[in-house]
Each structure stands twice: as C-alpha cells, then as structure tokens.
Structure 1
C-alpha cells in the first residue's frame, strides 16, 4: 500500500469507501470481544491449577497453624521465597493479600493521614503533587486522583521517565511528594529502566524530605522476548543515604491467579516498622493459608522463574500475532507507530494525532472493546489523542486474530478521516 499520509484527496476518498465496506463486513460478524484489560486467559490460568491442591498440610515450617490468627506481615517462608526471587532482604518484606494495588492504596492513604518519618501528613501539604510518567498505568493515576493529589505528566521513553524533567521538578518543588514507576516492561510502553535511570532516581535531590518512589515492579519476571535485569533500587538508594525513599510493590497476579495470588510491599527497615505500627490496627494478618499454598506449590524462586518461561512461551504467539498483523496492515502507511516490547502484558500503539478516541470508538461499535483512549494519561487526557494500549492476553488465538485485524482497520479509518479533515 502506498503511504497513506502522502495520498491525494481523491485517493483518500477512494480508500475511505473501501475501508468502510470492510468495516461493514466486520460489523456483520456480530463480534463480542473484550481487550480492555490485561487479563490472563483461561489457558494461562490452567498452568498453575496445581496450586489448588498444593496445600497438603496447614502448618508452617515453625509449626504454626495457618488457619488461625496471627503473623501480621507474612509467614517467614513466603518472605524468603520473594526475597530469593527479587533479591530483597526478607526483613524488608511485608506479604499482603492478593492485590498489590490494595497495598499501594493503603500506603498512599497512610502517608496522607499520618505522614512519614516525622514529616507532616500529606493531606496538610498545600498543593500536593505527584509525578506521573506517561503513558502509564491508569490505576496508579486513579489512586492519586482519588486522594486529591495533583498529577504532573512526565514524558516516557524506552529507558524510563525523562530524568531531566523528573530531577528538575523534584528538586524545585517541596509539594511534589513522589513518583509512580513501573521499572520493567512498563504498562503500556514496555519500557525497561536503565541502570542510569535507576541511579538517578535513587540519588536525585528532592525538595521534599519525604519524597517517595512507588516502585511497582508488576512485570519484574514477565519476560517474553528477552530477559532483562533491573538494577537493585534499594542498593542504589542505600548507597546515597536515601533508602527510605523506596516503596516497592510486587504480586503474583500475572503469575498464578489474579483473584487469589499474593502481593508484597518492601521498604527500608524503618519504613516497615512504621507501616506495621498502623497495620496492627488495620488487620490481624492476611491469608496465611494462601501464603503457605504458594510456598508449597513453587518451593523455590527458580521454580517460579521456570514457570514464567513457560508462561512466556504461551504468550509469545499472541504477541507475535499482534506485532506481525500491525506490520502487515499498518507498516509503511504512516498511520501508526509501535514498539515491540521485551516482555510484560501490553503493546502500545500511537495513531496519528487526534485519532485514538475515534479508533477505539470504531472498534467498540464493531464489537471489540479496547482500553479507553486517554486512559494511559493522568485525568484520561492524552494531549495528542494518539496512544492506545493493546492487551493481547485474554482472547483466544482465533478471537485475537479477528480483533487485531479489525483494530488495524479502525486505525486506517480514523487516520484517513483525519487526513481528509485536514485537507478540507
């Protein structure tokens, strides 16, 4: 196909008619497909069905009855499993329930209500702000907005957030209290933070003494095309005397079962002590049976890594299908650009400016629900109206094939319509 952005008005009108006919054919199929979130498919969940029968005894290695009250911050063997997997000392780990988002929300709320390390509660800070690398994770932005914290978008690249912008803002404004980070295979760009980015985040000067990095390593072991090693943020921060700055989150939501996995929070020893002080009022403890179930099923961190290689093998054909179709249908047209991720759960695509919302609307009308356009930016306001998050994991291969071909058609339709509008 000739580069669409270089077509004459007459050629665009002819192409518009052709695309409309193809679109009507898709609509006639009565599709009802959901690609709005990065949900595991049933076949993926089946890979850990052994977890359901892994609990042959309800006693921990110390003899504790896991059915009963007690153990506020997680059984030792669960802490040790995550410590070995992530390289974090066990004494810095709190094992929670199934949701890392829940742990993030709770920690943000604690900072808002009580402050940290002797600093005033964030709710008492006038004009409080948070740095939000964008495009980014919509649920992070929802937490921040729910707290009434002003969100400041920061440009993202394949290496992480624009650190020149981050350093300048954090150093100049004490009302800026932190930053959201998804350091490996980020949602949605697939960015992997470089060693330099990690070092600069750990060492940068901040006007706020209680500046916090919410380090959501959600896809830390979710490699598909290439295994990427992330520099240890705790060691980098400790070397600069900034260990209290790091609040680390991780879960098995995309490893075992999203509704019944395990989530952890890790922080400096002093932060953990502070957090546990409030936790003793909030809860008597999380689900120790589920913690024990995961430990008995996986046994070692190496077994988790082996499982994730199987998972990568299962997901790779879906990512290949999407990436190959994007290239076949949109490559060379000038209507879209995208990056092949090394892992994670998403593929981010940029349409021509002003076309993302129209593309998603076309897809929905034809029976394929995508993540809402703008969702990857604070306040759902994509300044270019161009970024779309593609989630290939949930549909079956057959469904995904139909969905991605329809999606490419919708990108073309919105792009051609925009070009015609521009040319009057």
Structure 2
C-alpha cells in the first residue's frame, strides 16, 4: 500500500496528536473486541422465553420434548434450520447451543477414530489444515490446541485463493480446511459459486479430506443483497466427493447467544458417523429449546423477519464505523477497507508494521480492540497490518465514539510509520 500522507504531513501529525490528547481526557471505556450481539439484539428474542407454555410440550411427531431421546433433533427444527442452510432436513443434526463445540468434537473424533470412509485416525500421522487468512481466531485455536499444523492461504473478495488451496491440498497430510463461506470472518467476503465448485471437486492428497464449512453468518445480512447459502453438499456429491463437507451453524447471533441451537449438516454417511459418536456422550439434546425456537420463528419467512430486526440495529453501527474511517482516513492512502454486506466485522488493512501500534494507541484512549495478529494462525500476522473491528456490542453512540478514536489511532500509527509523527 502506498502512503499519500500529505500535502503537509507535519501539520496532519500535529492535528492528530492534539485530537488524541483531547480524546484521552474523555475517559472512554469501550469494547470493540468480539462480535457479540448487543442487549437490544438479544431483546428481539425475549418473547421466546415464554414458549412453549400452557403445557404444550409435544413436538409435531408426538414426542414429549421434556424427556430423553431424539438425538438428531426435532423434525420441525431440522426442517426449519435445514431450509436456512440449504441442507435436507434428514441430513441435519440439531444439538446444543454451540457450533464451536460441534467443530471441536468433530476434530477430536477425527483424530481419535477417523472420519466416515477414512482408513485411519488422523492422529496416526502429521495432520494439517488449510487456513484462509485473514481468518477466524477460534478456528485457529482449535488447530493449535490439538497440534494440527496450519497452512495460511490468502483470502480474495470471492473466497480463498484457489490456486494456493489446491497446491496445499495435494499434500496427503492436509486433512481439512476452514471455510466461512458467507460473510467470512473477518473480511465479509462471500465465496463465489466458482470457488465452491473448485473446493468440492479439487484433488486432495488425503482421501479423507474434509471442508469444515462454518456457515455462521448465512442469514446475517446488512443490505438488500442477500445471497442464498451455497449448496456445497450437492456440489461435493456431484464431484464424487459426497463426504467432503461438514456443515456447521448456530442461532447464537439469531436468538440468544448463550441459549441457542447449533447444527451439524453433512452427507447421510457423515450424519450417521456423527450421531454414532454423539450417542456415546448424550442421550439427547435440549428438545424443549428446539420447540421454543420453532414456535417462535415458525418458518423461513418468520426467520427472515426476525433477522430484519437485527439488521435495523446493526446496519447503523456499521455505517457509523465506515463513516469515521472515511472522514479521518479517506484519500490519505494509509488504510483500506470494504463495506461488508453482512456478518459482524469490518476488516482494515493498514501500512505494514502498524496494527499492533494501533491497538496500543487505542488502549491509551480506553478502547479495547481485538489483538493485532488474531486473524492469523498462532496470532502472528507477518505484515502486522490487519485489524478486525467488531461494532455490534456497544451502543450506537459508543460505536461512533470508538470509531472516531480508532480512525485517529490508525492515522497516528501511519504517520509514525512514515516518520511524520
């Protein structure tokens, strides 16, 4: 990135330092670290807590949801959320609240027992994952925690760099790949159909290779441009790799973050594999919560109406953050960003070597940011120039204040990098 800090960098630096000193006196205490729903977003699902009510605790197939059993989940829940993900209802498992927990279990089971159709447990040799970067720090933490080697590949506007992905996947040690196909965390990029088809059909060195397809933001739209989920299961089946995709999602950012539902989707063989293992650790999920969700959201149209409420709350916060970046940094050539069409994050690419300094400067203003490097495996951004901003949790007024402070810190860090501050 070329810097165009002028016409008078020393004047710009003096103004930025003065503005920073003034903002320090404001006593800010703002958190922009994680993409958590705000209290107002959680309030959108408040009515769900009164359901099902009136002793109406029977699912559509007649089962009493208060009792044991129903390992795969209620039929109505699988149908509703399968429609959300573009997955047939009989190929969906509805579990507890955390999709991250399902991903964790799938990795552990693959390491210890292998996957459906696999020749051996993944732990019997070197295991590696392809990791698009910038990417999701919790995905990387799972790999790091289990000693899985991570191979970074660049993210593009339409998904990961497929030439790099295909080259990495040729290694027999590469067992999987992290994918956030819709409004990717953190860049907001949505995979194109062409990228998805290449992922489904590419040759891999490992016959038991899996796409960990984390569709966390499938319905989290911020504009009228609302892409439907890619049918990765059909693409994989058509390419002769029916078992390639594990699909994950949850309602954590749809209803209640700590009391939602999580989903696993896959081929019939993958669903059987997952249920066989899950049946050893539980005698059934919280079906009362599943009934509560289906009674509250009702159908796909009801889900869309509910998500429109989230958009009304979230979009102004994203607009305020982008506006602050444009006002403070626009035209200076020191940072670039995209206006995401969905998801929970704004990614800013700055001058090399300046991201950690931005976090430090922001801390001096009382603004907590996601650590620099968090979007790379082991937390090591080789260029130290990517920051993930999460405007969802604070109030709109606090987002405006934080965004102004963050943009100012980015300007100061850029001026320092160019020796002008």
TM-score range, shorter chain: over 0.9
Q: Distance in 2 between matches of 1:228 and 1:344?
A: 12
Show the counterpart of 2:9.
Answer: 12
In the alignment, is the contact (CA less than 8 A) between 1:138 and 1:378 conserved in 2?
A: yes
Show the counterpart of 2:119.
Answer: 119
* Per-residue CA distance 1:346-395 (angstroms, 9 max, x = gap): 11001111000000111012101011110001111111101100111111
* Per-residue CA distance 1:259-282 (angstroms, 9 max, x = gap): 001110001111111111111111
> Which of 39, 44, 50 pairs up with 1:47?
44
Q: Distance in 1 between matches of 2:119 and 2:408?
A: 53
After TM superposition, give the deviation of residue 6 of structure 1 in Å: 4.3
Larger CA deviation: 53-62 vs 281-290: 53-62
Show the counterpart of 1:270.
Answer: 269
In the alignment, is the contact (CA less than 8 A) between 1:128 and 1:176 conserved in 2?
A: yes
Show the counterpart of 1:22.
Answer: 19
Show the counterpart of 2:390.
Answer: 391
Relative to the length of structure 2, the TM-score reads: 0.96
Larger CA deviation: 50-59 vs 249-258: 50-59
Show the counterpart of 1:193.
Answer: 191
- Give runs of aligned pairs for residues 15-414 of structure 1, distance below 5 A: 15-56=12-53, 57-116=56-115, 117-125=117-125, 127-171=126-170, 173-225=171-223, 226-414=225-413
Q: Distance in 2 between matches of 1:378 and 1:43?
A: 33
The structure 1 segments of at least 4 consecutive aligned residues displaced by more than 4 Å after TM superposition are none
Unpaired runs of at least 5, structure 2:
none
In the alignment, is the contact (CA less than 8 A) between 2:188 and 2:343 conserved in 1?
A: yes
Aligned length: 416
Q: Distance in 1 between matches of 2:325 and 2:146?
A: 38
RMSD: 1.5
After TM superposition, give the deviation of residue 12 of structure 1 in Å: 3.3
In the alignment, is the contact (CA less than 8 A) between 2:151 and 2:168 conserved in 1?
A: no
After TM superposition, give the deviation of residue 105 of structure 1 in Å: 0.5
Unpaired runs of at least 5, structure 1:
none
Q: Distance in 1 between matches of 2:83 and 2:127?
A: 37
In the alignment, is the contact (CA less than 8 A) between 2:216 and 2:249 conserved in 1?
A: yes
Larger CA deviation: 396-405 vs 300-309: 300-309
| Local SS of the residue matching 2:270 | helix
